[in-house]
Structure formats: C-alpha cells, structure tokens
Amino acid sequence: MSDTSPIDCSKVRFAIAAVTEASQLVRRVQREMVVRTLAKDDKSPVTVADFAAQALIGKRLEETFPEMGFVGEENSEALQSAEGRKTLKQITEILQSYLPGATEDEVCQWIDRGAGEPTDNFWTLDPVDGTKGFLRGDQYAVALAYLRKGEVRVGALGCPELAAGVRPEKGTAGSLLVARRTNGTFVRSLDDSLSGEQALWQRLRVSECAEITDARLMRSVEKSHTNTGGLGQLVARLGITANPVPMDSQAKYAVLAAGGGEVNLRLLSTTQPDYREKIWDQAAGSIIVEEAGGRISDLNGKPLDFSQGRTLANNRGILATNGHLHGDLLDGLKKIGA
C-alpha cells in the first residue's frame, strides 16, 4: 500500500464518496437553511442536515451494498407528524439536487433504513456529529463506519471546518479522513476535485508526546457532554500543565490522529452514571485514532465492544490517547474514582 493513498477496497471507496457527498450537502444546508425548530426526544437540536445526510447515505448504501445492514442515528417518525411535514418538504427539496425525482415517501424510507439493529456486516452513521457546533459554525463531523462481526473495519470522517485534519478554521476547504484496519489513517482536503487514487492523501500519525504533564486534552465546548469536575480532578492529580484543546464532535479524533492533541476523554456525567455511548458516536473516530497509532478504550481500559447492539453496553465512558500516555491516564482515572 502506498503511503499517499488509502484506496484499496470497495468499502473504502464507498466511504470516501459517501462522506464527501454528505459533507458537501451538510455544508450547503448550514449556509442556506439551518433549521432550529425540530428537537430530538432529549431536546438537543436537530437540523435538516441530519435527516438529509442520513437519507442520502441510506440511498447510496441501497444502491451499492443492498445486502448490508445500516444503523443510523435518526428515524423519520418526527418528520411524518403534522409538525414535521414542513421540514420533510425542505429535506426532500434539498435531496432532489442529489437524487432527482426523490419523493417524501422515499426520503423517509431511506432515513429508516438506519433504524434497524446491527448485523454481521453493517454500516453506522452519525450524519452530523456535533449539532451545536454545526449551529454555531464551529466543529462538527459526518461520521461513517463499516463493521464486520463486531469490529470496525473502515471509518471515514468529513470535517468541513477543520484544515489538514488538525487545525480549526472556519470557511476552510475542510478535511476528509479515512482509515482501514491495518492500513493506516489518511487525510485530504474535503474539497479535493480529484478522486480515488489521484487525490492527494497524507498519512497521519499521532503525537509522540510521552510526558503526561505535557498532555493536551481535547475538551468539549459543550459542558453537558462530560463530567467537567472530574476532568479538573484528573488534570490536578496528573499535574497536567498544557493548555487544553476546545473542540466538539468526532473532529476531536481527527485532531488526535493528526498529532494536534494527546487525549480525548468522555467521563460519565454525575447526572447520567449509567449512560452508554451510541456506536455511531465512536465507531468512525475509534479506527481513525487506532490506525494513526493511538489507543482507545473505556475508562477501565477495556477495548470498545461494538458487538452489543446500538450502544457500547459493555463499556463505561471513553479514553482515547496517542498510546504513549494511555497507562498514565488509566492510573489517574483509577485514583480519582472515575
């Protein structure tokens, strides 16, 4: 395999094409018509972009891998209510630019392809990971992964506000990252006009930092996403003095893989001690980090178990590092009782 191209199988090619197309769609929605009126059951914001991107990738999977499962974050139930019909109409009109002749019924069908349970061979999608970042114009990601028998085999992240996979930059061309198991992690411009083998890919490697005091923690901008008090205790216990890197979404995994930080940590919130991560929130980012030389586990050091359905039911929280610092972080977590 060349160090300048990750293109070596049909699933990698699909992931690259699908995430590129969906990221362009999401960026268009952000420019033209961010919708703030629809809410998920947990009251976090949902946009037209979420549904349109899932419908688009659902349709592309139907065309390319019809025999494979698809587990997505969204379902069309809210869109089919009286209150959601206007939003469904907007989604359908946007998708008609990509899928001429698309109807509202077809859009709901494509979205709901992702409503099932994982199979032996399936794809999982977070169509807009980091919705609040998306609404603010900050970091968000389109995250797609292919899993076989409970193991992530291919992952792709589209990060429209991230330059070179590592530098937050609004209005940039954006970054596309892709990883295949045992083949490495690569990045190129999301707006690269070339495709496939002709595109300019750069192989990524995690930071070589081995001093825990110098560890740069990826800190969520959204305070509700983690236990900020526990993070403060951990930083004090380990004597970390490096400035944190504020960022939301799986774009954090991109920056970690590119060496722009050393630690991404999801502690359990004290208000939700039994919370378990959704597979689409971690699958693509986990392989991006691992194939760049990093390590990811839960807070007890256990590997992430993607064989338990739509959640990581056997794992508590998330710890992703450059590998060199993983043991130090696990020891620190144990000492603060996290």
pLDDT tens string 111-141? 999 998 999 999 999 999 998 888 888 899 9
We report the CATH number of the domain holding residue 316 as 3.40.190.80
State which amino acid sits at residue 152: V
For 159: left if phi > 0, alpha if psi spans -120 to 50, otherwise beta; the answer is: beta
Domain that holds residue 262: 212-336
Looking at the structure, do residues 217 and 131 belong to the same domain, yes or no?
no
Catalytic residue list contains 50:
yes
Residue at 45 is within a domain: yes
pLDDT tens sequence across 82-117 = 989 999 999 999 999 999 999 999 999 999 999 989
Which of these three, 145, 176, 203, is where a domain ends?
203
**In the chain, alpha helices (H):** 10-32, 48-64, 85-95, 104-112, 131-136, 228-238, 251-257, 283-290, 326-336
Q: Looking at residue 170, what is its pLDDT?
A: 83
Count of structural domains, the chain: 2
Domain contains 2: no
List the catalytic residue out of 47, 87, 131, 226: 131
Residues 6+ apart with CB under 8 A from 141: 126, 128, 129, 130, 157, 158, 159, 249, 250, 251, 254
Catalytic residue among 20, 47, 50, 138: 50
| Residue 34, pLDDT score | 55
- Same domain membership, residue 257 and residue 191: no
What local confidence, expressed as pLDDT, does residue 326 receive?
98
328 classed as catalytic = no
pLDDT 10s digit of each residue in the chain, 338 long?
A: 346 567 779 999 999 999 999 999 999 998 886 555 455 443 333 579 999 999 999 999 999 999 999 999 999 999 999 989 999 999 999 999 999 999 999 999 999 999 989 999 999 999 999 988 888 888 999 999 999 999 999 999 999 999 987 888 888 899 999 999 999 999 999 987 555 555 689 999 999 999 999 999 998 876 555 667 899 999 999 999 999 999 889 999 999 999 999 999 999 888 888 999 999 999 999 999 999 999 999 999 999 999 999 999 999 999 999 999 999 999 999 999 98
**How confident is the model at residue 309, as a pLDDT?**
97
**221 and 299: one domain?**
yes
With vertex at residue 250, the alpha carbon angle to CA 329 and CA 40, rounded to the nearest 5 degrees, is 115
Question: Which pLDDT belongs to residue 134?
Answer: 87
The pLDDT value recorded for residue 306 is: 98
Which of these three, 168, 203, 238, is where a domain ends? 203
